[in-house]
Structure 1
């Protein structure tokens, strides 16, 4: 429910406070006084398009602020909190919008700056606005289906949810199957290339790091004689022998040094430590002599082995070059290629699975569609009778609403039929689509009749907004029809908050709260026009109704008529 709206520098309105409350609120005023600006301000709050041209002349920006009171557990409150907004403990949520004269706008939700689109997202759950544009939208089959579905209530929600799940799954699987079949040749070609590549890897059978190991072995075999000569020279230098003749090698020298130190080491700890270290060097030299001897014996020139290594390296290099990397890169590719091949080879299996599931879904979808159609057909008959009864009370006693279901060639996302609302304007006349057979005034009353029927249908209004705003709902009507429009709006206001902009006293008389937009002109160097909003009660309200009836609020006859309207509206409610 909207608690109030505050507007600054919007059109002819310099500053206005529009208090709203439960029940039926009407907004009236002379033509050009600024009634439209009140709805424009509300439209801004609800995420509508910002028009810099609506900023009052001379002002830098216009602003509109609304306070909504949300029921406990409201999804709007949850979404607002998710966006970082603040919702008061009593459920109050403040929404504000500013429009700069330069054209930029800013939206604020619960104290947090948010995108304009978020306000528009929440608008459908906060307020239902009915104006000329909404009446035109009622002509579309989509809006007519939405109205029927809302009237059908929870039974249809359950059936339609099951249908929507089956339809969405069928659509997704059909798209997947189409993708598989469309790219089947590409998949087969890719699979064949992977098989050839994997077969080559399997034939060569590379091992991790093998290319590096073979490179090291080839280097060793290519220089076997030089390596063996160097090892023998080092062995002789350390262990003695060879060209050294009778001269001992390094091992003998180190051993002589050890014995010389050990003979006197008992006399000095420092020298004893040095003797120990020389002994360790001796052990190390002895180990090196042994290993060098073994290295020289093991390393022999082996032309046959060298040829094998070179051929293997060439084979691995060719394979690695194919994959622009090393042997390890080849092995990594092979692992990924194996997984991809399993996916591609599983395409036929997946195709069969999809076709089997699609066949099951087709049966399931038809059953769900039949259930949706059944609920809709029952609801269509009830809605048609309810709206027709309402039209009788709206001075269209001979009119009849006909709700038809036209079967589609192919079930769509919302069922197997399209909803068509036709109007018989009078007995014997052919039923014609609302978009063709209804005038603006008739369409206004049909729309109101549908809203009243929706509001009074058991369970159908559970997900509908708590506030309805009507602009031009009384367009093209007058006299008795106008009285009945007011009565139906009052009836609707028992179920929700209703705000109506009207120029008919017969409608305004039914209001729980009557607001008047008045215009004043200040003369001076520059002529300044400003509008204000005030609540009227008692004599002031009688005077406003008299003005609406005759244009003369001081006319005693008009006042008597206005008072009579008020009295009858109380009795009529």
Structure 2
């Protein structure tokens, strides 16, 4: 969850730091106080599009920083972190975003500089923002298939993995078939190129690791004098009168004279003897290497010439000799395939037909599982609709297919299903896509239902609602408050609201207000006590001055909310 948010020089905010807790946090305040600006800052932190307009007037840059604590060790954020080389310690993820007055944007995750695209990948696994002005993932039909699969993941996960493996194999075979069955002119040109490359590489007569071996020999020849001097000095220090070996020999003899009088000296004498003989053997090896060393400028020229030829080939075929040899093997295989194209095409076609049968069987199994999952989802949505006084609304999961010429559904990476969530809010009206539902109040309730059902499975740690309760009142407002609270049991929820019913349901109530300081407007965020919360709820109820009646109503709302929280969900 988001535990701390720091914002500096962002719009009308000069410098604030807000701590958040688990559960439902409500943000209220007068219109224009800066509530939505805070949500804008979080959206930028999640990889949203930035603008120099966000930089506070008269400052050089705005800075936003958010600390997230991830309690679930299996959260997808860890996979994302591994993918982009970001280290996560103690379950802490810090997202940072800086926008300069010149328009330059700098992004960091746990201190590591990342691109905006990478920041967005982290943000989408941590934060889901929904406002009255944007539809987010639930409104986009392209995401409905993934959401349906997330609804009952245990049922579909294994089947989806099996299908993905087979579909990938099928896709590779089809690509090979298309590549091999290109027109004759292209294949002839390709064959000419490959045969030229084959001839060039065969004439080079490369051997494995040849570049590495030659580089080592070249280094030895270039540094011959230094190596020779080092070996000679080492040998002279060990062998000869009054040199290292002679003194170690004397030490050994001294210990030998007393070995019969003390067991510890006997052990030391034996150990000294081992060192003496080892150093004597080493000195002989050094002497032999010195005797065998010969400097050959001709050999150095040969190596330089050979390495030049190899480096020329590296620019064309690979960074190492071993990779060039690997490419040579691929050339030989492709030449054989092109030369015997008809035989290979026939073999590939047989493989494609066999695997496609298996892929379609797996796709059919995926489809059947999704049908059952869709029925369960429709039932769950209908039940939730009743809680929000949408008992006359109908929800459906539409399955669509793109057909091929052979009258079979066209396969894609997730099977052959295309999913759309459909809704009708009035009896007798046809089902329509969610995005085409007209009423703002109905749309708010529909989105809350779907978010409640999917929030747990999507894995996002923080769900943020920016005035999604616009256009509702009365009993519907109370129902929405209860539904938002239910969502907060599975994910942290931050909610900007103008409804007292929603504000009363908060676990934490934060009040946002504008003040003037040094002739500049600033935003201040404070956490309300119970008495302050009553006053704020009263203001939200009356819209003007506080009255005792409004205060009594506010107390009643808090008592109702407290009683509701005591009920089992």
TM normalised by structure 2 equals 0.70
Matched, 1:485 2:486: no
Counterpart CA distance in 1 for 2:133 and 2:357 is 40
Q: How many residues align?
A: 433
Matches of residues 85-484 of structure 1 in structure 2 within 5 Å?
85=86, 87-89=88-90, 91-132=91-132, 134-135=134-135, 138-187=138-187, 341-409=335-403, 410-455=410-455, 461-462=456-457, 464-484=459-479
User: Gapped runs of 5+ residues in structure 1?
Assistant: 199-205, 209-333, 456-460
Matches of residues 51-70 of structure 1 in structure 2 within 5 Å?
51-70=51-70
Are the equivalent residues in 2 in contact too, given 1:545–1:553 (CA < 8 A)? Answer: no
Of the three residues 539, 552, 556, the one matched with 1:564 is 556
Q: 1:339 to 1:509 in 2, by over 3 A?
A: closer
Are the equivalent residues in 2 in contact too, given 1:553–1:559 (CA < 8 A)? Answer: no
Question: 1:100, CA displacement in angstroms?
Answer: 1.2
Are the equivalent residues in 2 in contact too, given 1:406–1:419 (CA < 8 A)? Answer: yes
Of the three residues 500, 512, 517, the one matched with 1:517 is 512
The C-alpha deviation readout for 1:147-171, integer Å capped at 9, x for no partner, is 2221131222222232233333323
- Please identify the structure whose Cα radius of gyration is greater: 1
Match of residue 291 from structure 2: none
Matches of residues 9-24 of structure 1 in structure 2 within 5 Å?
9-24=9-24
Matched, 1:499 2:494: yes
Q: 1:88 to 1:493 in 2, by over 3 A?
A: same
Counterpart CA distance in 2 for 1:194 and 1:108 is 46
Are the equivalent residues in 1 in contact too, given 2:180–2:338 (CA < 8 A)? Answer: no
In structure 2, the residue corresponding to 1:416 is in which secondary structure?
coil
Q: 1:486 to 1:344 in 2, by over 3 A?
A: same
Match of residue 292 from structure 2: none
Q: 1:119 to 1:537 in 2, by over 3 A?
A: same
Counterpart CA distance in 1 for 2:334 and 2:174 is 23
The C-alpha deviation readout for 1:475-495, integer Å capped at 9, x for no partner, is 222211111111011111111
Counterpart CA distance in 2 for 1:336 and 1:466 is 48
Counterpart CA distance in 2 for 1:493 and 1:466 is 10
Question: 1:87, CA displacement in angstroms?
Answer: 3.8
Question: 1:7, CA displacement in angstroms?
Answer: 0.9
Question: 1:193, CA displacement in angstroms?
Answer: 11
Q: 1:25 to 1:171 in 2, by over 3 A?
A: same
Are the equivalent residues in 2 in contact too, given 1:542–1:562 (CA < 8 A)? Answer: yes
Q: 1:9 to 1:342 in 2, by over 3 A?
A: same
Counterpart CA distance in 2 for 1:158 and 1:553 is 61
Match of residue 547 from structure 1: 539
Q: 1:498 to 1:436 in 2, by over 3 A?
A: same
Counterpart CA distance in 2 for 1:335 and 1:106 is 45
Question: 1:112, CA displacement in angstroms?
Answer: 2.5
In structure 2, the residue corresponding to 1:560 is in which secondary structure?
helix
Question: 1:14, CA displacement in angstroms?
Answer: 1.3
Q: 1:72 to 1:380 in 2, by over 3 A?
A: closer
Supply the RMSD in Å over aligned alpha carbons: 3.1
Are the equivalent residues in 1 in contact too, given 2:139–2:435 (CA < 8 A)? Answer: yes
Counterpart CA distance in 2 for 1:374 and 1:352 is 33
The C-alpha deviation readout for 1:151-195, integer Å capped at 9, x for no partner, is 131222222232233333323322221221123444357769999
User: Gapped runs of 5+ residues in structure 2?
Assistant: 206-327, 404-409
